[in-house]
Amino acid sequence: MIIHAYVNDRTGVKVWQDGSVDERVTGQETAGEPPTVRELDTVDKLKALADPTRQAILAALTQSPDLPVMSVKELAAKLGEPQTKLYRHVRQLEEVGLIRVAATRMVSGILEQRYQASQRELRLSPKMLRENVGDAEIALRTLLDQFLEGILAATLRESEERPVMFLSTNSLAPEMAAELRRRLAEVNDWLERLPEDPDGTRINMVVGLYADEPGSTGNPS
């Protein structure tokens, strides 16, 4: 999942029953695909991601460019989690608009909802971070702590695929700093375009870049 929607009343819903298809088209269908990139512009959206289970759900629903549509049962099978555990997390992601009901179908007389991500990528809103420093800090620290726990666990495992980390400080000319940012974005874009291999190695990556205030004694990190 890369942290880089349509409201429910604009969602196109398809209903399958007894092998027939009944399509009910609403505004979302005619408006086209969900946006490629969306901003995390509220604390509620950021907090919704500050949980490893919800991160895994969103990652499963953004695993390919065509944004797969999955039921809670299918998500549970993919993530290896109990189906009952996922319902609350799915509702929270839907409430903040990060996922949407894309289709429903009848299964043994029960109406089953199927979900799709409301965007392909998420980006943090600088305005939201500035206006909600306290809440945003807690959510961001939770996300980073989860990554730290993962990388420490990977370091302790007996495996040839050891984690890698790079920490750099340097003082660059403005055009070189811009080039560095471009290259990092290029790597991220390349990674997102790669097809997911169900039998492959699951990778987790965090890339961060910031510049110190002008006149400070530190360096860009």
Q: Evaluate if residue 217 carries a pLDDT over 70.
A: no
pLDDT of residue 23: 36
Average pLDDT score over the chain: 78
CA-nearest of 116, 21, 9, 108 to 60 is 116
pLDDT of residue 58: 92
What SS3 state is found at 151? helix
- Band (216; pLDDT cuts 50, 70, 90): low
Which domains, ranges and CATH numbers included, belong to the chain? 8-123 (1.10.10.10), 166-221 (no CATH)
Q: What is the mean pLDDT of residues 37-43?
A: 86
Residue with token string 């199927």:
114
Q: Evaluate if residue 129 carries a pLDDT over 70.
A: yes
For 136-168, how does the pLDDT look when each residue is reduced to its tens digit (9 = 90+)? 888 888 888 888 888 888 888 887 778 888 888
Q: What is the mean pLDDT of residues 73-101?
A: 94
Q: Could you please report the per-residue DSSP string of 45-111? A: HHHHHSSHHHHHHHHHHTSSTT---EEHHHHHHHHT--HHHHHHHHHHHHHTTSEEEEEEEEETTEE
Q: Are 99 and 91 in contact (CB under 8 A)?
A: no
- Band (1; pLDDT cuts 50, 70, 90): very low
Instruction: Tell me the pairing of strands 37-40 and 121-124.
Output: parallel
- Band (29; pLDDT cuts 50, 70, 90): very low
pLDDT of residue 78: 92
* Strand arrangement of the beta sheet that strand 99-107 belongs to: 20-24, 13-17, 99-107, 110-117, 70-71
What's the CA gap between 136 and 184, in Å, rounded?
A: 24
- Of the ranges 59-68, 120-129, 193-202, which one carries the lowest mean pLDDT score? 193-202
pLDDT of residue 136: 85
Which tokens belong to 58? 């969103």
Which tokens belong to 170? 């340097």
